[in-house]
Amino acid sequence: MSKVINITFAGVGGQGILLASDMTANALISAGYDVKQSEIHGMSQRGGSVVSDLRFGRKVYSPLIPKGETNILIAFERLEGLRSIPLLRQGGIAVVNDESILPVGCSATDYPADALERIAAEADEAIIVNATEMATRAGNVRAANMVLMGILSCLLPVKEDIWLSAIRERFNGKISEINEKAFNLGREHQVMAATR
Amino acid sequence: MKKLLSGNEAIARGAWEGGVRVASAYPGTPSTEIMENIATYPEIYSEWAPNEKVAMEVALGGSFGGARALVSMKHVGLNVAADPLFTAAYTGVNGGLVIITADDPGMHSSQNEQDNRHYARAAKVPMLDPSDSAEAREFTMAALDISENFDTPVLLHTTTRISHGKSTVEMAEPLPLRQAGFQPNKSKYVMIPAYGKRRHLAVEKRLNSLAEFAGDTALNRIEWADTSIGVITSGIAYQYVKEVAPHASVLKLGLIWPLPADMIKEFAAGVDRLYVVEELDPFLEEQIKALGVSVIGKEAFPVTGELNPELIGIGLGLGGTETGSVKVDMVNTIDLPMRAPAMCSGCPHRGLFYTLKKLKLVVAGDIGCYTLAVGKPLEAIDTCVCMGASIGGAMGMEKAGIDGVIGVLGDSTFIHSGITGLINMVYNGSHGTVVVLDNRITAMTGRQQNAASGKRISGDEAPALDIPQLCRALGVNDIHVVDPYDLQAMEKAVRAAVDYPGVSVVITKRPCLLIDKKARRQPVRLDNEACRGCGLCLKLGCPAIEKVLGEGCKIGIRINETLCTGCGICTQICPSRAIAAEWEEKRL
Ligand SMILES: Cc1ncc(C[n+]2csc(CCOP(=O)(O)OP(=O)(O)O)c2C)c(N)n1
Ligand code: SF4
Ligand code: SF4
């Protein structure tokens, strides 16, 4: 059986998770892979948890990632990152945005303050970044998804120009520039981390 | 050209390539994006109908007129459209007619988990069941052909995983169009008993020919492999089976009604152990058993919820997945706070439910964004069954002698199936009250236009239904139109309506915040000195009001400025007047 690589995107509705998952899927198709993606939208819009499964390889059947088989977890938020840790397989990588969003009706005291430590303790490899801050530096907080995609791009067998043309195809003018900048910040961060 | 498409996008693409010219739908998860995508093809007449029954009738009429036609809906929508469906099976078609039913195993966003494959058998029409986006496109086109070749409407069955899941699709150019035109044929299109009896015979004959076709068509195929284990499956379950049991022999059904009896028997004879793997009910299993073939089915797989590769692996006796590298449950995530969906900050619906709770009314609720008011902290909905049931339900409770019942529903739901309930209240002498939450849009399903929006699916201007005038015409004499951001006015209107000795309607009028970006105002400000920490504002369940105890903040309340839309509802309920809106100050 040829190998299938599994990526889980997890976060909170409104964080641009499905867009990042979509663009990654398209980049992988451009690179010649079979890709399947599964997500649930509906109730997800209004601040609920959002999870998107993306699988690629020579041939992919199930769009769902079997539990505990995720190779790369991209968590847009700490609590959702922690919630998704059991999805990771042994040797899996967790990329976590150092941001917390309080669930509606949840008091700050109930929010796990030690989420990042628990993630770092459980995942075999954890990459923790402040994507929100980097996106602000790039010109728009909302581009945090592109920062995370930039980091992910370093972990996937897809050439840089494919990613960049995907961004340019998706966005226009100024927005495209900001997103590209955010993507590059993510990429640089990862390259730096890898060479350290 | 190859592209990553969702199943819904692929169906729309297949409809366009297959020459569909008339398409109608009522939104409903997971089907909604089918019509949203069809509407992007200018060649196709597309519309949002007021409900699924009307949508089905429009598509059937389009077919009678010779156009290829499509109608799509979520699973419960087919209950609403079942009446035309069952008789359309008798009339048959002129232009090809495909009916899409998008089921929701796992109930990701539905009120029940019904298995609509039963409709195919009950209505005696064929049903196709795609297993990925490529098949969603291909089967849509095949359905149109089968429809014309066999003179029958054809059901296309999807589930949430097929509709929303994405996979690659090879696309082509559209087919040449068929000539439209209506040929009067009363014994086929006028279903009075005399003609209907003859058509029923035709329906039974057609089913026999379709069963023969099921054995010949490439839609059904046997994938021979290791014959010690054989699996009969269709739809998304096929992908899961291939994932966990790549070595097994598989009979993959694309046409799931009627079934290819000989092919099933041949397959059964060729394998040692035979399984049927299907989501929800034992639909295939019971039919296969009726052929005298013994299979393992629901004793190994659940009848509730979605299937997934693990469940299938276990059911087939293969254990979980193959790698054995799983870290599952190493972390205890059970105690983590849940993140349930909530009404948006500044949602125009919120204040009403605060008011209803305060007045201690029994709330016969309905289906829309406002159903989220059932959750903490508002907990202000007492019943929710199906679209429109708020009105009939409130009426029935009133007649059972329950005091203080109020029916609450949205504009889209009112138009879908609330109007007839209101006619009943007036006609049969109710004293009840109905609240119509008029936010000018069908918000829950992602903001689709409706008859009250003033816009069509194309974005073109349309006459906007005047709800107060409609209520007046139905015979309602006590009508209140209020701004739901004005809590005092709303409470006054609800009290007056409940006290009124006849049918009352309260219409809360304010667009959904997500369609009216200009309605967002400056965030409100909390005066930390004035706040006594009573926590009353937290009872609104507004995502922008955060409880921050223990973070060095003396009073424990914080307004999240990025989330707050400045609706001002919290400023009106704070007994210490500690929350102030900038726009309010300016006005004073
Ligand atoms: C028969 C049926 N069709 C479609 C749906 C899907 N659905 C759920 S809520 C809703 C509409 C809600 O619109 P509205 O009543 O205007 O309330 P809003 O969400 O705008 O507050 C729809 C179409 C359904 N549940 N049942
Ligand atoms: S989408 Fe609109 S109607 Fe729905 S919760 Fe948000 S503001 Fe309210
Ligand atoms: S004004 Fe109050 S109720 Fe309205 S959005 Fe802001 S915090 Fe929420």
Q: pLDDT for B249-287, tens place per residue? A: 999 999 999 999 999 999 999 999 999 999 999 999 999
pLDDT of B555: 59
Residue A96, CA distances (Å) to A135, B303, B438 in order = 14, 37, 41
Tokens 């007056």 found at: B496
Domain boundaries, chain A: 4-195
A73 SS3 class: strand
DSSP code per residue over A121-163: HHSSEEEEE-HHHHHHHHT-GGGHHHHHHHHHHHHSS--HHHH
User: Would the pLDDT of B319 be above 80?
Assistant: no
The beta-carbon neighbor of A43 closest among B108, B132, B546 is B108
pLDDT of A107: 80
User: Would the pLDDT of B7 be above 50?
Assistant: yes
Fold of B350-517: Rossmann fold (3.40.50)
Residues of A in contact with B547 (CB under 8 A): 106-108
Kindly state the tokens that stand for B202. 């035709």
Q: What is the mean pLDDT of residues B554-561?
A: 81
Q: If you take atom 1 of ligand 2, which residue's CA is the nearest one?
A: B443
pLDDT of A195: 64
CATH topology identical between B2-216 and B520-587: no
A67 touches B: beta carbon within 8 Å: yes
Residues of A in contact with B552 (CB under 8 A): none
Q: What is the pLDDT of residues A41-96, one digit of tens each?
A: 655 567 788 999 999 999 999 999 988 999 999 999 999 999 999 999 999 999 99
Question: Which residue in chain B is spatially nearest to A36 when comparing CA positions?
Answer: B167
Bigger pLDDT: A192 vs B246: B246
pLDDT of B331: 57
DSSP code per residue over B403-458: SSEEEEEEHHHIIIIIHHHHHHHHHTT---EEEEEE-SSBTTTT-B--TTTTB-TT
CATH class of the structural domain B520-587: alpha beta
B63-77, B95-109, B166-180, B261-275: range with lowest mean pLDDT: B166-180
CA atoms within 13 A on the CB side of B239: 27
pLDDT tier at B499 (50, 70, 90 boundaries)? Answer: very high
The beta-carbon neighbor of A86 closest among B4, B308, B329 is B329
pLDDT of A139: 93
Q: If you take atom 4 of ligand 1, which residue's CA is the nearest one?
A: B28
Residues of A in contact with B340 (CB under 8 A): 48, 103-105
DSSP code of residue A89: E
Task: Indicate whether this complex's ipTM tops 0.90.
Answer: yes
* Cα–Cα dist B330/B197, whole Å: 64
pLDDT of B330: 52
pLDDT of B517: 84
Residue B252, CA distances (Å) to B128, B262, B377, B411 in order = 12, 14, 48, 43
Residue pair B11/B100 in contact by the 8 Å Cβ criterion: yes
Kindly state the tokens that stand for B237. 């379950």
User: Would the pLDDT of B92 be above 90?
Assistant: yes
Residue pair A70/A91 in contact by the 8 Å Cβ criterion: no
* Cα–Cα dist B98/B145, whole Å: 10
- Which CATH number does the domain B2-216 belong to among 1.10.3720.10, 3.40.1160.10, 3.40.50.970, 1.20.200.10? 3.40.50.970
Q: Mean of the per-residue pLDDT values for chain B?
A: 94
A103-107, B386-390, B406-410: range with lowest mean pLDDT: A103-107
| B243–chain A nearest CA distance, Å | 6
Q: What is the pLDDT of residues B225-253, one digit of tens each?
A: 999 999 999 999 999 999 999 999 999 99
Q: Which ligand approaches the C-alpha of residue B75 most closely?
A: 1
Ligand 3 centroid to residue B572 C-alpha, Å: 10
Tokens 């400023």 found at: B571
Q: What torsion, rounded to 10 degrees, do the Cα atoms B355, B357, B362, B367 define?
A: 80
Tokens 């907080």 found at: A141
Q: What is the pLDDT of residues A104-122, one digit of tens each?
A: 878 888 899 999 999 999 9
Q: What is the pLDDT of residues B452-487, one digit of tens each?
A: 999 999 999 999 999 999 999 999 999 999 999 999
Find which of B336, B537, B560, B562 to mutate to test the A interface (most A CBs within 10 Å of its CB).
B336
Judged by CB atoms closer than 8 Å, whether chains meet at A38 and B132 is answered as no
pLDDT of B79: 98
Judged by CB atoms closer than 8 Å, whether chains meet at A108 and B30 is answered as no
Q: What is the pLDDT of residues B181-209, one digit of tens each?
A: 999 999 999 999 999 999 999 999 999 99
Ligand 1 centroid to residue B495 C-alpha, Å: 27
Domain boundaries, chain B: 2-216, 221-315, 350-517, 520-587
Q: Which ligand approaches the C-alpha of residue B344 most closely?
A: 2
**Which residues 96-115 of A have a C-beta within 8 angstroms of B?**
102-112
Question: Which residue in chain A is spatially nearest to B334 when comparing CA positions?
Answer: A83
Residue A156, CA distances (Å) to A27, B5, B366, B410 in order = 10, 21, 46, 46
Q: Which atom of ligand 3 is nearest to the CA of B560?
A: 7
Kindly state the tokens that stand for B547. 């409880």
pLDDT tier at B292 (50, 70, 90 boundaries)? Answer: very high
* Cα–Cα dist A140/B539, whole Å: 33
Q: What is the mean pLDDT of residues B49-58?
A: 98
pLDDT tier at B340 (50, 70, 90 boundaries)? Answer: confident
pLDDT tier at B584 (50, 70, 90 boundaries)? Answer: low
Fold of B221-315: Rossmann fold (3.40.50)
Query: Per CATH, is A4-195 categorized as 3.40.920.10?
Result: yes
Cβ neighbours of residue B554 closer than 8 Å, sequence gap 6 or more: B528, B533
Q: Mean of the per-residue pLDDT values for chain A?
A: 91
The beta-carbon neighbor of B340 closest among A48, A85, A118 is A48
Pocket of ligand 1 contains residue B564 by CB under 6 Å:
no
- Percent residues over pLDDT 70 in chain B: 95
